[in-house]
Amino acid sequence: MSKFVFPVLAVGAIFQAIMQTVIVPLLPSLPGFTGAGPTAVSWLVTSTLLVGAVMTPIFGRLADMIGKKQMLLIAFGLMTVGSLICALTSNIGLLIFARGLQGAGAAVLPIGMAILREVMPRERVDRSIAILSSTLGIGTAVGIPFAAAIVQFADWHLLFWVTTAIGLGVTVAASFVIRPSSTRTGGRFDVAGAAGLTGALICLLVPITQGSTWGWTSVAVLTMFVCSILLFAIWGFQQLRNRNPLVDLRVSARRSVLTPHLSALLVGFAFYGNTLITTQLLQASPEHGAGYGLTILQAAACQLPASFAMMIFALVASRVSDRFGPKIAIMIGATFLIVGYSVHAVPDKPLWTVVAAIFIAAIGTTFVYCTLPILLLGAVPLSQNAAANGVNVLLRTVGSTVCSAVVATVLAAHMVAGGIGPRGFVIVYLVCGACAVVVFVSAFALPSLGPRTPRPAGV
């Protein structure tokens, strides 16, 4: 049955990525579908991001402690239940709750990587993990056209009936195919650390996602940012003194671990920008500022090249990392991102160049996303693999959340009569490109390794 482990994990990771982004094409229509205001509807994205950010490191640590299969099945189960609730209701409160349940699926990717490290032959581990990492982008690129087609041709609830069926299938398959983990750390779960990290992340991410609505200088936003800083400081002190920390900060502070985490944060920002900004640009009316006036389905179809790029270049990225080392692979990915966003930032360009820029930026994202878990594979012990990848995925989520806030703020500041001025889109694309430049420069901090050599299990 072990030969089916990777296909099941890959489908599960794509399912999770679809769940994260499937709501995006629905957002303009959901106030009419639910009778709720735009602010309430925005929480259908915020709740998923918040729960995902909180649950990813917690589930990763629990997977290392009590078993990866158990925590993977719980994550699949929560996503499936959340999808079923969305299929059954139009009540905004229940929908927000259900989307929060779906956020737990963010833990699927780091747990899946840890499972592959245990069950795959050593010569196939890097390649399998690289491809699994790329499924985040594949699911995102597939989920938007899928949701757009449902919205245009059928009742929106059908979308969640389909994802519920996928979730049930993946959960059942995983329960039969994946064996219980042979590597567990045991020990006591750090409840205080989990509570502290939860509070700190909520105080950080809520004002980021709601700042454009509440006002960036409002008392609520400033208070929550201050509380976040204080809570992170207290949490860090507590983690350093704990014998069984939720996140081993000493390991995370190593250059070989800290640099991949920084890259995850920045590329999470850049990748979400490639999806979020471009979707808005493609659908915006050219009669009222910048835009191409495409329908929701046409705009979604323009994103398909990103999916193809990630499927094609996942293996390429793994082979480049094997042959030339992960440092070179990261630099190649950052270079593609810089080129892609340079093209994106050109105003009033033909539509085909927009599609080309999407494709180029997706190649860059694939190289970086596929290489980050390979870097962590060689930098942390086997017993901390799920937790380390959990932090890495958490930082991708934080990057995407910050990107959403920056895009909303910048575009709102460049509103013109009935639309958004081209300068607004240029600025946000340049910010994404700047993130890619930092990723390229930070790659110099990585050790200059050639082809990776096998390491003993448990090291």
Are residues 336 and 346 located together in one domain of the fold?
A: yes
Tokens of 282: 């493609």
Mean pLDDT is lowest, of 310-319, 370-379, 450-459, for 450-459
The predicted model gives 260-281 an average pLDDT of 82
pLDDT band at 453 (very low <50, low <70, confident <90, very high): very low
Domain finish residue from 224, 243, 262 = 243
The predicted model gives 210-220 an average pLDDT of 84
Domain finish residue from 213, 243, 273 = 243
- In whole angstroms, what is the distance from residue 82 CA to residue 79 CA? 5
Are residues 196 and 339 located together in one domain of the fold?
A: no
Residues 6 or more apart in contact with residue 319 via CB below 8 angstroms: 127
pLDDT band at 10 (very low <50, low <70, confident <90, very high): confident
With respect to residue 456, please indicate whether it lies within any of the assigned structural domains.
no
> Residue 141: what residue type?
A
Mean pLDDT is lowest, of 38-47, 124-133, 138-147, 446-455, for 446-455
**Inter-residue contact 44 to 33 (CB < 8 Å):** no
In sequence order, what DSSP letters do the residues of 55-75 get, joined into one string? HHHHHHHHHHHH-HHHHHHHH
Tokens of 376: 């962590």
**Inter-residue contact 437 to 427 (CB < 8 Å):** no
| Number of CB atoms found within 10 A of residue 218's CB | 14
Are residues 300 and 377 located together in one domain of the fold?
A: yes
| pLDDT of the residue at 170 | 93
Give the H/E segment covering residue 185: none
With respect to residue 27, please indicate whether it lies within any of the assigned structural domains.
yes
Residues 6 or more apart in contact with residue 108 via CB below 8 angstroms: 9, 12, 13, 15, 16, 72, 75, 76, 79
- In whole angstroms, what is the distance from residue 23 CA to residue 82 CA? 13
Domain with 54, as residue range(s), is: 2-189+244-445
| pLDDT of the residue at 99 | 92
| pLDDT of the residue at 340 | 94
Are residues 326 and 232 located together in one domain of the fold?
A: no
- In whole angstroms, what is the distance from residue 156 CA to residue 295 CA? 17
pLDDT band at 383 (very low <50, low <70, confident <90, very high): low
Residue 357 has pLDDT above 50, yes or no: yes
In the block, tokens 């920390």 appear at 245
Percent of the chain's residues with pLDDT above 70: 92
Are residues 209 and 349 located together in one domain of the fold?
A: no
29 backbone dihedrals φ, ψ, rounded to 5°? -95, -20
CATH code for position 87? 1.20.1250.20
The predicted model gives 356-371 an average pLDDT of 89
Nearest CA-CA partner of 49 in 220, 362, 268: 268
In the block, tokens 């833990």 appear at 107
With respect to residue 459, please indicate whether it lies within any of the assigned structural domains.
no
What's the Cα-to-Cα distance from 161 to each of 103, 158, 188, rounded to whole Å? 17, 5, 39
What's the Cα-to-Cα distance from 390 to each of 61, 269, 318, 337, 446, rounded to whole Å? 8, 17, 20, 24, 20
pLDDT band at 95 (very low <50, low <70, confident <90, very high): very high
| pLDDT of the residue at 183 | 67
Residue 251 has pLDDT above 90, yes or no: no
The predicted model gives 210-214 an average pLDDT of 79
In the block, tokens 């927009």 appear at 354
Nearest CA-CA partner of 304 in 275, 345, 271: 275
Nearest CA-CA partner of 142 in 129, 158, 154, 159: 159
Category of 338 on φ-ψ map: left (φ > 0), alpha (ψ -120 to 50) or beta: alpha
End-to-end CA distance of the chain: 26
| pLDDT of the residue at 74 | 94
Give 391's Cβ-side CA count (13 Å radius).
24
The predicted model gives 382-403 an average pLDDT of 76
What is the chain's percent helix, strand, coil content, to nearest 5? 80, 0, 20
Q: What is the pLDDT of residues 99-120, one digit of tens each?
A: 999 988 888 888 888 888 787 7
| pLDDT of the residue at 1 | 54
In the block, tokens 């989920």 appear at 143
With respect to residue 457, please indicate whether it lies within any of the assigned structural domains.
no
Length of the chain in residues, anyone?
459
pLDDT band at 247 (very low <50, low <70, confident <90, very high): confident
With respect to residue 49, please indicate whether it lies within any of the assigned structural domains.
yes
| Mean residue pLDDT across the chain | 83
**Structural domain count of the chain:** 2
Are residues 35 and 58 located together in one domain of the fold?
A: yes
Let me know the angle formed at the C-alpha of 270 by 267 and 275, rounded to the nearest 5 degrees.
Answer: 125
In sequence order, what DSSP letters do the residues of 288-357 get, joined into one string? GSS-----HHHHHHTTHHHHHHHHHHHHHHHHHHHHH-HHHHHHHHHHHHHHHHHHHTSTT--HHHHHHH
- In whole angstroms, what is the distance from residue 18 CA to residue 144 CA? 8
Are residues 382 and 238 located together in one domain of the fold?
A: no
Are residues 26 and 118 located together in one domain of the fold?
A: yes
- In whole angstroms, what is the distance from residue 160 CA to residue 360 CA? 31
> Highest mean pLDDT range out of 84-88, 189-193, 256-260?
84-88
Q: What is the pTM of this model?
A: 0.79
**Which residues are bridge partners to 419 per DSSP?**
416
With respect to residue 24, please indicate whether it lies within any of the assigned structural domains.
yes
Residue 231 has pLDDT above 90, yes or no: yes
Are residues 160 and 224 located together in one domain of the fold?
A: no
The predicted model gives 173-201 an average pLDDT of 83
Mean pLDDT is lowest, of 319-328, 337-346, 444-453, for 444-453
Q: What is the pLDDT of residues 21-77, one digit of tens each?
A: 778 777 777 888 888 877 788 788 878 888 888 888 888 888 888 888 899 999 999
Residue 159 has pLDDT above 50, yes or no: yes
What's the Cα-to-Cα distance from 176 to each of 2, 5, 171, 172, rounded to whole Å? 10, 10, 9, 7
With respect to residue 370, please indicate whether it lies within any of the assigned structural domains.
yes
| pLDDT of the residue at 234 | 94
- In whole angstroms, what is the distance from residue 68 CA to residue 108 CA? 10
In the block, tokens 């993990």 appear at 129
Are residues 235 and 93 located together in one domain of the fold?
A: no
Residue 375 has pLDDT above 90, yes or no: no
pLDDT band at 458 (very low <50, low <70, confident <90, very high): very low
Are residues 301 and 163 located together in one domain of the fold?
A: yes
Are residues 93 and 225 located together in one domain of the fold?
A: no
The predicted model gives 245-273 an average pLDDT of 82
Give 1's Cβ-side CA count (13 Å radius).
9
**Inter-residue contact 387 to 64 (CB < 8 Å):** yes
Residue 405 has pLDDT above 80, yes or no: no
With respect to residue 452, please indicate whether it lies within any of the assigned structural domains.
no
Domain finish residue from 181, 214, 243 = 243
| pLDDT of the residue at 344 | 92
**Inter-residue contact 117 to 128 (CB < 8 Å):** no
**Inter-residue contact 442 to 263 (CB < 8 Å):** yes
Please tell me which residue, 67 or 331, carries the higher pLDDT value: 331
